[in-house]
Amino acid sequence: MSDPLPVVLACGQLLTREVWAPQIAAWSAEREVIVADHTQDETIAGMAQRLLDAAPPRFALAAHAMGGFTAFEVMRQAPERVARLALLATLAPADGPAQTARRQGYIDLVEAGHFQQVAQERIPMLLSPARSEDPALVDAVRRMAAETGAETFLRQQRAIMSRADSRPSLEQIRVPTLILWGDADGITTRAHQDELAAGIPNARFDVLPGIGHLLTLEAPKAVSDTIALWLAEA
């Protein structure tokens, strides 16, 4: 029997490896788990290259939110290295004018010294309405934002703003792909997920009812088990 496939985890903006903590704990005993570094680059292409430089020759890729943007770039740069792909709470289009203006507003606030305000404003978007005041989850969001810091946030924001529209390249993704989304997500929509499912050949789409954008923490067992079963099919 061959060794279990290593899995590389790609984080979202203002998030750290803590967002994957339940999954790391669940999987590390049986396979290599690597968390990509999304803190040093101002472009999605740079994040993707850094991920590939640190990854094994062949691996499964599980990507959340902004990590999905990196995953799409990895699939353009080195599709032969990815054996399986999981996309969590992400989307394929580039930003439109309204999203770009909102992100520039965040940049302006942070550059004016209001990073904590920006981090606090994001909490309701990251958590489902039912969990928006959950002390453990709110504390986790605040910890991850503090660990990320203002300068990294600015790099990530600029990378997101300049990212490519990945919709034209979805049909070129030929590896087994899992799309996982919580229907109380305050950032990505059902339409975004349907677009991914329709664009990626033979993609599987699972919905977690009542779960928000941070599905790895809001529904840790469901996410861990679903992805573990998907990995076991390799």
pLDDT of residue 122: 87
- Model pLDDT for residues 13-51, shown as the tens digit of each residue: 999 999 999 999 999 999 999 999 999 999 999 999 999
Phi, psi at 22, each rounded to 5°:
-65, -35
Q: How confident is the model at residue 3 (pLDDT cuts 50, 70, 90)?
A: confident
Give the containing element (helix H, strand E) for 52.
helix 44-54
Query: pTM for this structure?
Result: 0.96
Mean pLDDT value of segment 47-68: 98
Q: Are strands 59-64 and 82-88 parallel, antiparallel or unpaired?
A: parallel
> What is the distance between the alpha carbons of residues 30 and 6, in angstroms, rounded to a whole number?
9
- Model pLDDT for residues 75-111, shown as the tens digit of each residue: 999 999 999 999 999 999 999 999 999 999 999 999 9
Query: Bridge partners of 8?
Result: 34, 61
CA angle 16, 4, 218 (to 5 degrees): 35
Q: Is the pLDDT of residue 234 over 80?
A: no
> What is the distance between the alpha carbons of residues 14 and 144, in angstroms, rounded to a whole number?
6
Average pLDDT, the chain: 96
- Give residue 206's identity as a one-letter amino acid code: D
Residue 112's CB is within 10 A of a number of other CB atoms, namely 9
Residues composing the chain: 234
Q: In the chain, what are the domain boundaries?
A: 1-234
- Model pLDDT for residues 108-167, shown as the tens digit of each residue: 999 999 999 988 988 899 999 999 999 999 999 999 999 999 999 999 999 999 999 999
- Give residue 186's identity as a one-letter amino acid code: G
**DSSP character string of 85-130:** EEEES---SPP-HHHHHHHHHHHHHHHTT-HHHHHHHHHHHHS-GG
Q: What is the CA radius of gyration of the chain?
A: 17
**Whole-number percent of the chain with pLDDT over 90:** 94
Q: Which of 24, 1, 27, 19 is nearest to 231 (CA)?
A: 27
Domain at 1-234: CATH architecture: 3-Layer(aba) Sandwich (3.40)
Mean pLDDT value of segment 50-58: 98
> What is the distance between the alpha carbons of residues 103 and 117, in angstroms, rounded to a whole number?
14
> What is the distance between the alpha carbons of residues 40 and 17, in angstroms, rounded to a whole number?
15
Based on DSSP, count helices (H) and strands (E) in the chain, helices before strands.
Answer: 9, 6
> What is the distance between the alpha carbons of residues 11 and 214, in angstroms, rounded to a whole number?
11
